[in-house]
Amino acid sequence: MRSLTFQTANARREPGLAGQRAGFTLVEMLVAILIMVILTTIVVAAFRQDDGDRLNASARLVQSYFEGARSRAITDGKVRGIRLIPRADDPFVVDSLVYIGATGHDTGFVNVDFDDSISNLWRFTNTSSGKWNRLVQRNLLGSGSRIEVPAGTGNWYYITAVSGNEVVVSGHYAPSAWDTNLGKYAPQPDPDGDGRAINMPYRLELAPAILPNTEPISLERGTVIDRAASRIPSLDIFFDSRGNPTGATSAAGLVHLYVTTLSDVELTRGLFPNHPANGGSQALPIVPASPPDVPEHEPYLFTLYTQTGQVTVSQVDFTDNLDNSNGNPGADLQADFPFRYAQRGREAR
């Protein structure tokens, strides 16, 4: 009986190939690894370059908004400004900007009461029922708004609370001081808390509003203004009709905005456990020394000179020779005077 013989493909090798070992040689493996390293380096470099491009674009956006707000104020002949909008999930970083404008004043009459049960607390009740409720609903009135009582006297007071058709001013003025400030309208302290000044004229400074036909615009993805590394007296920055900073901004001297990447913000917080964003109480501003710590990308430092309205871009001084908690010699991974170059006029490269 004839037997059948089966041959595999390997058994039918070409002459000269028999006995060769399958697989990579050491040289081939080294070449492959080298190619992988080169490709990885190229990808990482491209990614970092992309981050740098986005950071640069965000810096240009911030600068254009400052110039735009100042130009609008001069052109319109009215107070105009920028609102810095924090991220919804992180109040320590700003990722959007929008143009805003002053909305004028609300006027009318109030009844004034001094509350003896709480030290230095005054209550103003609007004589027009529901008027202030409507302003609250439109976000034109809230804590921090200013009220002038009596109207036209120049006596402005910051509102500390709003409740219905009543606003509260507290913590600053004893009855005797109010006697002096209010002149002939001065209310007299009354232990029963009854009204002592009826139909007193007032002027209320309404909160600024977003300008018509404008919408918030976001910074480039992954870039933010780090509030903890900045010096910003208010999230609303205003210019008057002459182009000069006004409001809370004008009293600040210098306003510094630290534009960086979100990844560097997160690295900074990891470097400082007592960072306010971590629930700590470390004093601001918090700018890490570099190198070798963070930032991975060179930030942009914008400075607004409140006496002139000029905006410059400066380098950050990352020098770390002092312990920021006590001022004694000794590095603590935190820049000692990050705004030094801005104050002395050294511009960014």
Reported confidence tier of residue 346, pLDDT bands at 50, 70, 90: low
Most confident of 40-49, 224-233, 306-315: 224-233
Residue 185 pLDDT: 42
Q: Per residue in 133-189, pLDDT tens?
A: 999 988 889 888 888 888 888 878 888 889 889 998 876 555 544 543 444 444 444
Determine which of 25-29, 74-78, 181-185, 249-253 has the lowest per-residue pLDDT on average: 181-185
Residue 116 pLDDT: 60
Residue 336 pLDDT: 94
Q: Does 190 score more than 90 pLDDT?
A: no
Question: The pTM is what?
Answer: 0.70
Reported confidence tier of residue 22, pLDDT bands at 50, 70, 90: low
Reported confidence tier of residue 119, pLDDT bands at 50, 70, 90: low
Q: How far apart are CA 140 and CA 210, in angstroms?
A: 11
Q: Per residue in 278-328, pLDDT tens?
A: 999 999 999 999 765 667 888 999 999 988 899 999 999 999 999 998 889
Containing 157, the helix (H) or strand (E) segment is: strand 156-158
Cβ proximity of 160 and 171 under 8 Å: yes
Task: Give the 3-state secondary structure of residue 124.
Answer: strand
Domains of the chain: 53-101+211-344 (3.55.40.10), 105-207 (2.40.30.20)
> Which residues, 6+ apart, have CB-to-CB distance to 348 below 8 Å?
300, 301, 313, 314, 315
Tokens of 12: 């039918």
Determine which of 5-14, 163-172, 204-213, 285-294 has the lowest per-residue pLDDT on average: 5-14
Q: How far apart are CA 143 and CA 171, in angstroms?
A: 14
Mean pLDDT of the chain: 81
Residue 115 pLDDT: 66
Reported confidence tier of residue 194, pLDDT bands at 50, 70, 90: very low
- Give the chain's length: 349
Reported confidence tier of residue 21, pLDDT bands at 50, 70, 90: low
Of residues 345 and 271, which shows the higher confidence score? 271
Q: Does 62 score more than 90 pLDDT?
A: yes
Q: How far apart are CA 17 and CA 115, in angstroms?
A: 104
Reported confidence tier of residue 11, pLDDT bands at 50, 70, 90: very low
